[in-house]
Structure 1
Amino acid sequence: MSSTVRIALDVMGGDHGPDIVLPGAEIALIRHPDIQYVLFGDEARIREILARHPRLAAASRIVHTDVVVRMDDKPSQALRRGRRVSSMWRAIDAVRLGDADCAVSAGNTGALMAMAKVNLKTMAGIDRPAIACLWPTMRGESVVLDVGASIGASAQHLVDMAVMGAAMARIVFDIEQPTVGLLNIGVEEIKGVEEVKDAATALREASHPGLAYHGFVEGDDIGRGTVDVVVTEGFSGNIALKTAEGTAKQVADYLRAAINRSFMAKIGYVLARGAFRALREKLDPRKSNGGVFLGLNGVVIKSHGGTDAEGFASAVDIGYDMVRYQLLSRIAAGMNNRPQVGAGVGRAVPVTDEMQVSS
């Protein structure tokens, strides 16, 4: 592998575009001086901001693009309007052409997934890609997938996600055999839809060397960190993700209101501010920002559209790690001996515009 990690950035993506993307890129560059950037977007705006960031400018090459994928574009609209000419497409295409090792965008999630799948194609043996994220838990972090690439999953797709999620977990957590659980409505083997039960049977009987199948897990097991990898289909995964984000904000608002309720409460806050600081750090969504598109012939990272520079830097950090520690080869090795679900089990659900997750 090259001594540098080349990262293509969709500079125009997200709610704030280059005003957040470029400062975030510099934060990540400070942490990883071996990064080289290819910046896709409005050259005049990029150069204006780079003038204030000489370190980033020295590590970057600019490719001008005129078209920006809007946050409210449907995937089909984005493909028609921005294929081959938008900053999002060009960043992904740089990975396909070998000009970059990964692409990072804070843009429209549905459009990014559609463009990535059309441009990079899925890896051999993989029907559909999935979005995996890092989830803060009581034990540290877990990998959770799929959090919104598509709705529905066959039993084989659930098995494939278990293999891909375990490959990512081996990189992120530096463990040889991550524990994997299937999200279900109960831990009993008789519960759940047939696709989930069939996937459980395949994982339990196969004894895949790259993962340790734990069994079914429930919603509260995600936050507990019961397993290293939680596998579910994109509809329930995205609901779980948005529920967790909303709950974290709700807890923060409750604490803020309680602290301001009385003078004695403010005194209590001063005395316990170390504990509150630790809680704030734990709940900080910026630290786990960055969804990994798994199952493609290339590394693509989705940053939250409304994040700040520190959050975008976290997404770049994840892309860096996925390249440096060879995510694609690890997934390919795992797929060579993946568990197979019995013929005719489960059903594949096609992806449509309505299945995109919110950006």
Structure 2
Amino acid sequence: MKIAVDGMGGDNAPQEIIAGALLALDEYPDLEIRLYGRQEAMKPYLKEHDRLTIIDCTEVIEPEDDPVRSVKRKKDASMVRMAQAVKDGEADGCVSAGNTGALMAAGLFVVGRIAGVDRPALAPTLPTVDGKGFVMLDLGANAEARPEHLVQYAVMASIYAEKVRGISNPTVGLLNIGTEEKKGNELTKATYPLLREAPVNFIGNVESRELLNGVADVVVTDGFTGNIVLKTIEGTAMSLFSMIKDVFTSSAKTKISALLVKNELSGLKSMLDYSEYGGAALFGLKAPVIKAHGSSNANALFNAIRQTRTMIESDVAGTIHRTLKGDAEK
């Protein structure tokens, strides 16, 4: 199994990206990694490994670059070369912690879309209080969506939840402002009956306040709403831990208390860190394309590679194609 990795993507590239790739090679004897990036920049962090191939690239897509224009113009960028390797069959899937928009463009224009998929969707696994997590999409690939798009999202994410996350008959919820069937805007009202007839375990509307309680294994919404929800969860978690830190450093007494619960607080922080579950998958493409968090450390990159490996092994893309094709033929 071969996975292509963008060695120059992310805030901590290339050091943490390379460290994560090496962790994955140590963990999985069946894995080969093709690492794309500027060789001179990566050289100080590289180690000899018979299953690691370095591909020197002269260009890098920066965070501030225009996504579509950079993918079309920077042909020798590490991210573009990585996606091209997947298209050419030199790799079975790919991972990048770089520019999200550019990775989506590379996935769509280079790797290619599965026949029958109208729009690919960005879907991370977000944390829940019980540690199980849930898949939510779309979180930003498409600002707007039609009812049929949300149905496809539900089908794709259900397949992923079952094959990659090991959840039997995963539940699917439609994000809404209330649980009643007639609640919501035109999009949710039109989507509800379609989801009821779709080949998924639809449980109805779910509210955002219940998401982290694990109300559903899969939650679908449009990309505009989903991205706002994601950033609200991220911002709330950061603010909460900042407040906790302020409390525990406010006096000598609280500093002593902080030492006593240090391990428990670290565990809580890990529970709220969705990079522990891997990266955000771009569903609807011909091969796994995973967006790791921009601030990924070695462990987060390892988790993203593990996730990609599982998607390849369980043939998620192929199952999505067969399911949607069969549904269209009915």
Give the structure-2-normalised TM-score. 0.94
Instruction: Supply the distance in 2 between the matched residues of 1:80 and 1:302 (Cα, whole angstroms).
Output: 19
State how 1:1-359 maps to structure 2 within 5 Å.
5-50=1-46, 53-54=47-48, 57-82=49-74, 84-139=75-130, 140-206=132-198, 208=199, 211-338=200-327
Q: SS of 1:58's equivalent?
A: coil
Count of matched residue positions in the alignment of Structure 1 and Structure 2: 328
The answer to whether the 8 Å contact 1:163/1:338 transfers is no
* Structure 1 residues 135-158: Cα deviation after superposition (integer angstroms, max 9, x where no partner): 110231101111110111100000
Amino-acid identity (%):
38
Structure 1, unpaired ranges of 5+: 341-359
Instruction: Supply the distance in 2 between the matched residues of 1:228 and 1:147 (Cα, whole angstroms).
Output: 16
Cα 1:192–1:135, aligned 2, differ >3 Å: closer, same or farther?
same
Instruction: Supply the distance in 1 between the matched residues of 2:258 and 2:45 (Cα, whole angstroms).
Output: 39
Structure 2, unpaired ranges of 5+: none
**1:339 offset after TM fit, Å?**
7.9
**1:16 offset after TM fit, Å?**
3.0
The answer to whether the 8 Å contact 1:167/1:334 transfers is no
One-letter amino acid of the counterpart of residue 319, structure 1: T
Cα 1:40–1:278, aligned 2, differ >3 Å: closer, same or farther?
closer
**1:285 offset after TM fit, Å?**
4.1
The answer to whether the 8 Å contact 2:278/2:306 transfers is no
**1:274 offset after TM fit, Å?**
4.4
Instruction: Supply the distance in 2 between the matched residues of 1:306 and 1:215 (Cα, whole angstroms).
Output: 35
**1:58 offset after TM fit, Å?**
2.4
Instruction: Supply the distance in 1 between the matched residues of 2:138 and 2:225 (Cα, whole angstroms).
Output: 9
Instruction: Supply the distance in 1 between the matched residues of 2:133 and 2:45 (Cα, whole angstroms).
Output: 34
Q: SS of 1:173's equivalent?
A: coil
**1:15 offset after TM fit, Å?**
2.2
Q: Which moved more, 1:153-162 or 1:68-77?
A: 68-77
The answer to whether the 8 Å contact 2:150/2:221 transfers is yes
One-letter amino acid of the counterpart of residue 201, structure 2: A
The answer to whether the 8 Å contact 2:126/2:274 transfers is no
One-letter amino acid of the counterpart of residue 240, structure 1: V
Cα 1:273–1:184, aligned 2, differ >3 Å: closer, same or farther?
same
Q: SS of 2:91's equivalent?
A: coil
The answer to whether the 8 Å contact 1:159/1:339 transfers is no
Instruction: Supply the distance in 2 between the matched residues of 1:306 and 1:272 (Cα, whole angstroms).
Output: 26
- What's the C-alpha RMSD, in Å, of the aligned pairs? 1.8
The answer to whether the 8 Å contact 1:203/1:339 transfers is no
Q: SS of 2:150's equivalent?
A: helix
* Structure 1 residues 246-284: Cα deviation after superposition (integer angstroms, max 9, x where no partner): 111111111111111122223333443443233123123
* Structure 1 residues 98-148: Cα deviation after superposition (integer angstroms, max 9, x where no partner): 110101111111111112101122111111100110111023110111111
**1:307 offset after TM fit, Å?**
1.9
Cα 1:173–1:39, aligned 2, differ >3 Å: closer, same or farther?
closer
**1:200 offset after TM fit, Å?**
1.2
Cα 1:29–1:267, aligned 2, differ >3 Å: closer, same or farther?
same
Instruction: Supply the distance in 2 between the matched residues of 1:197 and 1:234 (Cα, whole angstroms).
Output: 17
One-letter amino acid of the counterpart of residue 304, structure 2: A
Q: Which moved more, 1:309-318 or 1:250-259?
A: 309-318
Cα 1:34–1:43, aligned 2, differ >3 Å: closer, same or farther?
same
Instruction: Supply the distance in 2 between the matched residues of 1:260 and 1:48 (Cα, whole angstroms).
Output: 38
Instruction: Supply the distance in 2 between the matched residues of 1:13 and 1:41 (Cα, whole angstroms).
Output: 9
One-letter amino acid of the counterpart of residue 18, structure 1: P
